Amino acid sequence: THEQTLDRDCRTLSRHVLQQLQSFDAAAQDLSALMNRIALAGKLIARRLSRAGLMEGVLGFTGAVNVQGEDVKKMDLYANEVFISVFKQSGLVCRLASEEMATPYYIPENCPIGRYTLLYDPLDGSSNVDINLNVGSIFAIRQQEGNDLDGNAADLLQNGHKQIAAGYILYGPSTMLVYSIGKGTHVFVLDPSLGEFILAIENLQMPASGSIYSVNEGNFWAWDESIRNYVRHVHRQPGYSARYSGALVGDIHRILMQGGVFLYPGTQKNPEGKLRLLYESAPIAFLVEQAGGKASNGTQPLLDIVPNHLHMRTPLIIGSQQNVELVESFIQQA
Ligand code: AHM
Ligand code: MG
Confirm or reject: Cβ of 246 under 6 Å from ligand 1: yes
121 among annotated binding-site residues: yes
What is the enclosing helix (H) or strand (E) of 85?
helix 74-87
Ligand 1, pocket-test mutation among 73, 248, 253, 270, most atoms within 8 A of CB: 248
Task: Output the residue whose Cα is nearest ligand 1's atom 2.
Answer: 124
Our answer on whether the CB atom of 284 is closer than 6 Å to any ligand 1 atom is: no
Question: How many Å apart are CA 108 and CA 150, to the nearest integer?
Answer: 12
Atom 11 of ligand 1, residue of closest alpha carbon: 248
SS3 100: coil
Sign of the CA dihedral with 57 first, then 63, 64, and 69 last: positive
Closest ligand 1 atom to Cα of 135: 9
Mutate which of 275, 281, 284, 318 for ligand 1? The one with the most ligand atoms within 8 Å of its CB, which is 275
- Which H helix or E strand runs over 62? strand 61-65
pLDDT in tens, the chain (334 residues): 889 888 888 899 989 999 999 888 888 999 999 999 999 999 999 999 998 878 777 788 887 888 777 777 889 999 999 999 999 988 999 999 999 899 999 998 888 777 899 999 999 999 999 899 999 999 999 998 876 665 668 889 999 999 999 999 999 999 999 999 999 999 999 999 999 999 999 999 999 999 999 999 999 999 999 999 999 999 999 999 999 999 999 999 999 999 999 999 999 889 999 999 999 999 999 999 999 999 999 999 999 999 999 999 999 999 999 999 999 999 998 7
How far CA 182 is from CA of 31, 161, 199, 285, in Å, comes to 12, 9, 17, 12
- The pLDDT value recorded for residue 74 is 87
Residue pair 282/160 in contact (Cβ under 8 Å)? The answer is yes
The answer, yes or no, to whether any atom of ligand 1 lies below 6 A from the CB of 124, is yes
Give the DSSP letter of residue 24: -
Ligand nearest to the CA of 139: 2
* Distance, CA of 304 to CA of 211 (rounded, Å): 27
Mutational test site, ligand 1, from 77, 80, 216, max ligand atoms within 8 Å of CB: 216
pLDDT of residue 151: 63
Q: Is the CB of 71 under 6 A from ligand 1?
A: no
Which DSSP string corresponds to 120-160? EEEEETGGGGGGT--EEEEEEEEE------SS--GGG-S-G
Residue 196 pLDDT: 96
**Smallest CA separation from ligand 1 atom 19, residue:** 216
Q: Is 247's C-beta closer than 6 angstroms to any atom of ligand 1?
A: yes
Output the pLDDT for position 59. Answer: 80
274 annotated as belonging to a binding site for a ligand: yes
Residue nearest to atom 18 of ligand 1 (CA): 216
